[in-house]
Amino acid sequence: MDRDKILLTPGPLTTTLRTKLAMLKDWGSWDADFNAVTASVRHSLLQIIHGAESHVVVPLQGSGTFSVEAAVATLVPHSGHVLVLDNGAYCKRAARLTRMMGRWVSSLRVDEAQPVDPQALEEFLQDDPSVTHVVLVHCETGAGVLNPLQAVADVCERFGVGLIVDAMSSFAALEIDARHTRFDALVAASGKCLEGVPGIGFVFIRKEVLAACEGRSQSLSMDLYDQYLYMEKTGQWRFTPPTHVVVALAEAIAQFVEEGGQAARLARYTGNCQALLAGMQALGFKPFLEPAVQAPIIVTFLAPDVPGYNFQDFYAAVRARGFLLYPGKLTQIETFRVGCIGAIGENEINQAVRAIALALQDLKA
């Protein structure tokens, strides 16, 4: 096969040739031309959430999890109490990293096949006024559940509690409007629904809470307050940036705008998801989630009822036909996941379903 394998994962994603070509030039990290690219990217990111009046955006080197950890460390005081709304693996990761930073953590758990419950959050906050911050994973890609961001934000606002949103797999695809949804921080990354390449995360921080963040982080390199001040003062990154990743993101954002922005990207991903579900169900695969809570980002399927099935053999058979799947993240049952995002459309999804059908025949042989 003479093309790159299609990545049916929640990131890294399949990217366009234009995005790949953007990385063929070398850039000086302190050069004025590169500083202009950084400024353009920051401006464009704020436009996507309509956040220029209410928030700043701080990019950070590393994977998205780096930025989640940086957001918690920068925004939550050492005496703070973080409540993690937990319905999956990435929620548990957020609780773990918060605990490792010495912050007080509680978890409000629900089944991983269900969205988090704003009413249960309200009752928890009524019972425990010590909570200072809530962490919500907008799209929990452990199973693919879409969590109710607006309803959770409304509860946090009524109780005067800070909200930190992990929007890693939803930003730029699902609607997030800072003019109507109150959050203290929202975290996303370059290699997700913007369809850039992995290597930087970015954190939107509400201007009203920014000043109080000074000196909170116990990390030099992951202090978002210092990163913000330095960028505002110099236009530069504090430490060596992933220059090629930043320029690729600028190119990916240009294509995002050309496509029609968030609404158009959501429409494409929704079409991908619908085509995937229809094709897989025609093959006899059963989705793990009910349609009402399924986000059009990644779909979890129950393992096929085939004697001797194991994911590694199934994965290898699909991979040989040009598509990379994702293992299941659930603990209690055997599953695998198929992503709907990236620079792909329904044609690639239909090809992937065909590859899965052939792989299934291999297993049955």
How do residues 32-42 score in pLDDT, each as one tens digit? 999 999 999 99
Confidence class of residue 330 from pLDDT cuts 50, 70 and 90?
Answer: confident
Residue 70 or residue 309, greater confidence: 70
User: What pLDDT shows up at residue 331?
Assistant: 66
All structural domains of the chain with their residue ranges:
6-11+261-364, 17-258
Residues 87 and 300 sit within 8 Å (Cβ to Cβ): no
Confidence class of residue 98 from pLDDT cuts 50, 70 and 90?
Answer: very high
- pLDDT above 60 for 104: yes
87 Cβ neighbours under 8 A, 6+ residues apart: 109, 110, 111, 112, 114, 115, 116, 137, 140, 143, 145, 147
Distance of CA 115 to the CA centre of its chain: 16
- 6-11+261-364: what CATH class? alpha beta
* 3-state DSSP assignment of residue 188: strand
Q: Which tokens hold the place of 138?
A: 């907008």
- pLDDT above 60 for 1: no
Residue 333 or residue 264, greater confidence: 264
- pLDDT above 60 for 2: no
- pLDDT above 70 for 363: yes
128: exposed, middle or buried (Cβ count in 10 Å: 0-12, 13-18, 19+): exposed
User: What pLDDT shows up at residue 337?
Assistant: 97
Report pLDDT digits (tens) over 191-247: 999 999 999 999 999 999 999 999 999 999 999 999 999 999 999 999 999 999 999
Mean pLDDT for the chain? 96
Tell me which fold the domain 17-258 belongs to.
Aspartate Aminotransferase; domain 2 (3.40.640)
Report pLDDT digits (tens) over 123-172: 999 999 999 999 999 999 999 999 999 999 999 999 999 999 999 999 99
User: What pLDDT shows up at residue 308?
Assistant: 81
Residue 344, CA distances (Å) to 18, 59, 146, 169 in order: 14, 26, 21, 16
Residue among 343, 101, 50 at smallest CA distance from 223: 101
Question: Whole-angstrom Cα distance, residue 266 to residue 99?
Answer: 34
- pLDDT above 70 for 75: yes
Distance of CA 314 to the CA centre of its chain: 26
- pLDDT more than 70, % of the chain: 99
